Every structure is written in C-alpha cells, then in structure tokens.
Amino acid sequence: MANPLYDALFGRHQGQMTTFIQLSDNTVTTHAAFLELAAQYAHVFTKLGLEPGDRVAVQIEKSLQSIAVYAACTQAGLIFLPLNTAYTAEEISYFVHDSKARIVLCDSKNAELLEPISIAAGAILETMDAAGQGSFSQQATEMPTKFQTVVRSKDDLAAFLYTSGTTGRSKGAMLTQENLLSNGQVLTTEWEFTASDVLLHALPIFHTHGLFVATNIALLAGCKILFLPKFDLDVIIDILPQASVMMGVPTFYTRLLDDPRFTKGLTQHMRLFVSGSAPLLTETHLRFEYITGHHILERYGMTETNMNTSNPYRGERRAGTVGFPLSGVELKITDSATGATLPQNEVGQIEVRGPNVFKGYWNMPEKTAEELREDGFFITGDLGQIDADGYVHIVGRNKDLIISGGYNIYPKEIELLLDIQEGVLESAVVGVPHPDFGETVIGVLVADTGAEPDLEAIKQTIATSLARFKQPQKLILLQELPRNTMGKVQKKALREQFSDLFATK
Ligand code: MLC
Ligand code: AMP
C-alpha cells in the first residue's frame, strides 16, 4: 500500500457519502467532504514548504477541522504533534524547539504570544480557531480537493506525543504508522466495532485516548462520531440516546453516576462503555453496574504503547483489573532489580512488547535505552500482577506520577519550579485523593532559614509556566520534609498526611 495509515483510516472512505462527524449543533460532515477538506489542508502544508517527516505542532481547539489537520498530516507524510490546549506559552516553546517543528498551528487568540516563540524556533506560524477559521483555513479554500497521497511505509513516523518525565523534561514519544494502525485494528476487532456504531466522543484529541483510540477506531470501523468539544454533563445526557458506544476517563463516569438523570432507561440501548487513562475504582464499576446494568470495559494503555490490555468484550469484565494483553501484545511482570520474569500473582513492573510499542524518545537515546530494552520490551513504570485467570491488575506505579482527571502530571517538573521561588528551600509535590479528578496535585514547601515564603505570590508566578491542571491545588508549608534513613523524601508519608484534604465534594 502507498501509505498504510492514510489508506486504512482515510483513503478507503474516498467519495463515501456516509456520515463521519456530527457536531453538537447537529451539522453533519460526510467522509467524502471531510477528505476533500483534508486534501486542501495537505496542499497548504506543501505550499508552505513542508516536506515528509517534518513536524507539525498543533495547539488548537477540538473541531472537525482539527481532525482534518491530522488527516492532512497523514496524507502528506508529516509528523502530527498535538499539544494540550491548556499548555502555557513557556511549555509550548519547549515542545516547538525540542521537536524542531516546521510549523506551529495555534488558535488565533494565542498568535501574538506564540509568534515570537515560533520565529525563535524557525517555525512558520498559522492560525485556526475553535470554528476552524484562521490563516491556515483561509489558504485552504483556494486549494484543490484532491491530493496525491505521499508514499510512506509502516515504519515511518506518524506522530510525536510529548509525555513528561521523572527528570522534569518532557520527552517526545515517536509513534510509527504501524504503532497506530496495528493498535486501532486490534481494538476495532476486539471491541467488535462496526459501521453501524455511533461513538460519543467527548475526550480531548491531543492525547492517545481521544485521538488514536477513539478517532482511529471510528475511522477503521467507518462509523459515525458524535463529536463534542469537551465533557459537558448536560450535553452528554442529552445526546446519549443517539450513541451506541462511549469512551471516557473515570471522571466522566463518576460525574454521570452523580446525576439523577443518568438511569438504566437512558443507557439501555448502549452497546459499550469503555474506561481508561486512569484507574477505575471497583466501587465505580459496581455502582455503574447497579444503576445501568452495564459493565464498564476497562482497558490499559499509555502514550508510548497505545493500548496494552483490555477486559474482554465477551466474557467477564472484572472490576479492578485491566483485563488481558491485546492480541499481538506480550506482557510480563518483572523484578525491577534483576529484570527476571516473576511468577503469577507476584507484584512487579509491567513490561510490554508488540507492534504497538513506540520507536523511542525523540533525540533522547539514553532515556530510550533506560526504558526500552534491546529485545523490544518497554518498561512501563507501572506495577502490576497477573491473577490465576490471567487478568492483569495494576497495583501502583514505579514512577513518580500523578494522574488527575486522566491527565498525567510529573511532580519533578513542578518541584523544579517551586524550588527556585523566593524563600523556598525545597519542595515535594504529591497527588492526593480527589472526588472528581481521582487525584489532585499539592505542593509541600520548606522555607529557607528565617524566610516566610508568600504562597499566593508563588502560586501566581508558577501559573505563567505551568498549565492549570498541573498547578498545585494547595501549597502547604512544613518545617521539614519526611525522609528515610537514606535521606530520600518519603512521598508516601506526605500522601497519607494530606489524604483527607479534598475528601468531600
Ligand atoms: C480541567 N481542570 C483540571 C483538569 N481538567 N484540573 C485537574 N485535572 C484535570 N484533568 C481544571 C481547569 O483548569 C479548571 O481550573 C477547572 O479544572 C475546570 O475546567 P474545565 O475545563 O471546566 O474542566 P472539565 O471540562 O470539567 O475537564 C475535566 C475533564 C477533562 C476530566 C473532563 O480534564 C478531561 O477531558 N480529561 C480527559 C483527559 C484525557 O483524555 N486523558 C487521556 C490521556 S491518554 P480552574 O481553577 O481554572 O477552574 C492516556 C493513555 C491512555 O492516558 O491509557 O488512555
Ligand atoms: P500517559 O503517559 O498519559 O499515556 O498515561 C499512561 C499511564 O496512565 C499508564 O502508565 C498508567 O499509569 C495509567 N493508566 C492508563 N490506563 C489505566 C488504567 N486503566 N488503570 C490504571 N492506570 C492506567
């Protein structure tokens, strides 16, 4: 095939008058019309001088047009690099410089802020707002609606997704056409998607879950997407009768369960509810079953690997587990000190291998070597065990990571900023239980001798550097940080000490 990913996701829908996307105002776009728009965008990229393999950094709101940008990148052989809309200019600057992006596509309202950054990085700046309008779309209107698809192989890179790290420096995970395609195909089959499904899509599309799981599956199955800009409880409840499948992070499901309108009657017609990106509490799984009669299907994945495991579509969906390795994915539990495979039921680090596993971190060979073994196994940083029936349980993390509402936050990045604030000697950032987001961020500070750090001023200062969801919900001043005999900060003790901070809604 000329371009395996484009052909499988998009090319085969050429000329099809089937509905691809339905927006919240009920306007629909057919596959055929969508592909014409994507082809026009591919022409704009070419006209701007981009060549296959170039990175396209995109920080725009979720829209039909933003999906067309993804399709255009695939068709033109460009590397799609989506960025969280919550990122600050400082964060964007890092990603654009690190990836050496050739173009930055941003919302018109951020253009003034991002222009100097783009210029400094040698990138072109174009705009696209939430309605899909801007300098980029403007140029597309004059372009032909057909584009000669650029030839690619399955090993060519299709996307970079940045993921934070324990060192505080974000890493660009390099994903190939095969990584995305193989995973999408396996999920489409295992979750029995067909063209008659209707997918309720309220996830952001700058992460694996909303883009490579939800969108790619719908494209592979050829089904319709109810495409919502974000999770809005009222809209979801309103539109649910039109859907057959919904995908979400646990926060989606706890919010729905807390609403009296969410009943068995409202969900009876649904074929499937999928959860992932963060742990779904057993209690939530059971409450969902009690209210709706549906068992949420929980699966487990990550940026570097796409999806690794899933509870079965047919068969027992076991609460508190993430099911079995997907077809083609090998998963083992190993001893973190020796790397030896551990027997069933023993807790160790989760390692995975398969066509889903990424090619490494962009320009970080050492980081790649630390996590991706020569034999192809990727050390996920998650701790788990496999029970007697083969179900994988995630029991913790070997990495210092907080997951808030499905977003990953690495404490190191925040600690590095807190440590340099006036009057601060040192800091520790931990995640504590939160009724809506699962976990939320708090920062514990120790003052320099005799200093009295101004916590409000610190909050304001770090807000210019960190996306809102990473900013500590609370800063707490302590005399000293708890340490073990080796001098290492005991984050577990801090998590326990402050576990009740957000206990009630
Ligand atoms: C928003 N806020 C958050 C937040 N989302 N704070 C902490 N954690 C979050 N996840 C903050 C906003 O900055 C704002 O702060 C306030 O909460 C309300 O903002 P909002 O925009 O109204 O929030 P809402 O729309 O309700 O968003 C919450 C959410 C959203 C849970 C619906 O975060 C979401 O869609 N999360 C999904 C993330 C996801 O797709 N993850 C997949 C990663 S891929 P203030 O103070 O200004 O009011 C991956 C691999 C895999 O992990 O396995 O899938
Ligand atoms: P990210 O790096 O944003 O892709 O997040 C990946 C991480 O999310 C994984 O390493 C896990 O820690 C976590 N994760 C994803 N799905 C699940 C799940 N179903 N249960 C528990 N943790 C999950």
| Residue 332: burial class (beta carbons within 10 Å; 0-12, 13-18, 19+) | middle
One-letter amino acid at 468 equals R
- 161 CB near ligand 1 (under 6 Å): no
- 306 CB near ligand 2 (under 6 Å): no
Cα–Cα distances in angstroms (integers) from residue 422 to residues 91, 304, 413, 416, 462, in the given order: 22, 37, 17, 13, 12
Q: How far is residue 415's CA from residue 428's CA, in Å, rounded to a whole number?
A: 6
User: Reduced to 3 states, what is the DSSP secondary structure of residue 456?
Assistant: helix
- Ligand 1, atom 37, lies closest to the CA of 406
pLDDT more than 90, % of the chain: 96
- 277 CB near ligand 2 (under 6 Å): yes
Q: Count the Cβ atoms, other than its own, within 10 Å of residue 238.
A: 12
- 421 CB near ligand 1 (under 6 Å): no
Give the burial string for 372-400 (b: 16+ CB within 10 Å, else e): beeeebbbbbbbbbbeeeebbbbeebebb
Helices (H), 100-249: 111-121, 135-140, 177-190, 208, 216-221, 233-239
One-letter amino acid at 166 equals T
Q: How far is residue 498's CA from residue 260's CA, in Å, rounded to a whole number?
A: 31
Summarised one tens digit per residue, pLDDT across range 248-270 is: 999 999 999 999 999 999 999 99
Helix (H) or strand (E) holding 245: strand 245-248
134 closest CA partner among 126, 144, 142: 126
Summarised one tens digit per residue, pLDDT across range 140-179 is: 999 999 999 999 999 999 999 999 877 778 999 999 999 9
Q: Tokens for 267, please give them.
A: 């969900």
Q: Count the Cβ atoms, other than its own, within 10 Å of residue 309.
A: 24
Q: Is this structure's pTM higher than 0.85?
A: yes
Closest atom of ligand 1 to CA, residue 437: 8
Q: Is residue 53 within 8 Å of residue 152, measured between CB atoms?
A: no
Q: How far is residue 19's CA from residue 38's CA, in Å, rounded to a whole number?
A: 16
Q: What pLDDT is recorded for position 224? A: 98
| pLDDT band of 399, cuts 50, 70, 90 | confident
Q: How far is residue 406's CA from residue 331's CA, in Å, rounded to a whole number?
A: 23
Summarised one tens digit per residue, pLDDT across range 36-62 is: 999 999 999 999 999 999 999 999 999
Closest atom of ligand 2 to CA, residue 299: 19
Q: Tokens for 337, please give them.
A: 């000190």
Domain 4-13+29-152 in this protein, CATH class: alpha beta
Mean pLDDT of the chain: 97
Closest atom of ligand 2 to CA, residue 401: 12
109 closest CA partner among 81, 134, 80: 134
| pLDDT band of 485, cuts 50, 70, 90 | confident
Nearest ligand to the C-alpha atom of residue 279: 2
| pLDDT band of 1, cuts 50, 70, 90 | low
Q: What is the mean pLDDT of residues 342-361?
A: 97
- 274 CB near ligand 2 (under 6 Å): no
Which residues of the chain are in CATH 3.30.300.30 domains?
401-497
Q: Tokens for 355, please give them.
A: 């066509």
- Measured in Å, residue 147 CA sits from the centre of ligand 1 at 36
Q: What pLDDT is recorded for position 505? A: 54
- 323 CB near ligand 1 (under 6 Å): no
Which residues of the chain are in CATH 3.40.50.980 domains?
4-13+29-152
Q: Tokens for 153, please give them.
A: 């192989």
Summarised one tens digit per residue, pLDDT across range 76-129 is: 999 999 999 999 999 999 999 999 999 999 999 999 999 999 999 999 999 999
- Ligand 1, atom 30, lies closest to the CA of 405
Dihedral (C-alpha) 361, 363, 369, 370: value to the nearest 10 degrees? Answer: -70
- 380 CB near ligand 2 (under 6 Å): yes
Query: What DSSP letter does each residue of 1-67 carry, written as one string?
Result: --SHHHHHHTGGGTT--SEEEEETT--EEEHHHHHHHHHHHHHHHHHTT--TT-EEEEE----HHHH
- Measured in Å, residue 389 CA sits from the centre of ligand 1 at 34
CATH number for the domain whose boundaries are 401-497: 3.30.300.30
- Measured in Å, residue 407 CA sits from the centre of ligand 1 at 7
